[in-house]
């Protein structure tokens, strides 16, 4: 059977705050790069950066490939050296 569910009004996010397009999608907005790490494999090294994102229910960070982030967001890397 179904149970009665009481919604939590503090979890409601206004559409204007997120900026949803007509296609019902939105762009993830990065705030800053927090950290950088290099994983050493047998034959190569893979650089990753820890990126802080907005537009989530809570601001959260993820590890992304540095090469991909430089292609998509080159302005993040122009303002100086990435933190170590």
Task: Count CA atoms closer than 13 A to 10's CA, side-chain side.
Answer: 1
| Distance set, CA 57 to CA 2, 26, 47, 60, 80 (Å) | 27, 14, 28, 9, 30
Query: Tens of pLDDT along the chain (84 residues)?
Result: 667 777 777 777 665 656 666 777 767 777 788 899 999 999 999 999 998 887 666 677 889 999 998 898 888 777 655 555
Nearest-angstrom CA–CA distance, 59 and 67: 23
Domain boundaries, the chain: 31-84
**pTM of the full predicted structure?**
0.56
Residues 6+ apart with CB under 8 A from 44: none
CATH of domain 31-84: 2.40.50
Task: Count CA atoms closer than 13 A to 15's CA, side-chain side.
Answer: 5
């Amino acid at each position: 059977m179904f149970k009665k569910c009481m919604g939590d009004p503090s979890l409601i996010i206004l559409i204007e705050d997120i900026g949803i397009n007509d296609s019902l999608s939105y762009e993830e907005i990065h705030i800053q790069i927090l950290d950088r790490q290099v994983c050493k494999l047998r034959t190569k090294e893979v650089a990753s950066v820890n990126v802080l994102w907005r537009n989530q229910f809570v601001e959260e960070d993820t590890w992304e490939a540095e090469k991909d982030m430089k292609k998509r967001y080159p302005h993040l890397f122009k303002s100086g050296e990435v933190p170590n």
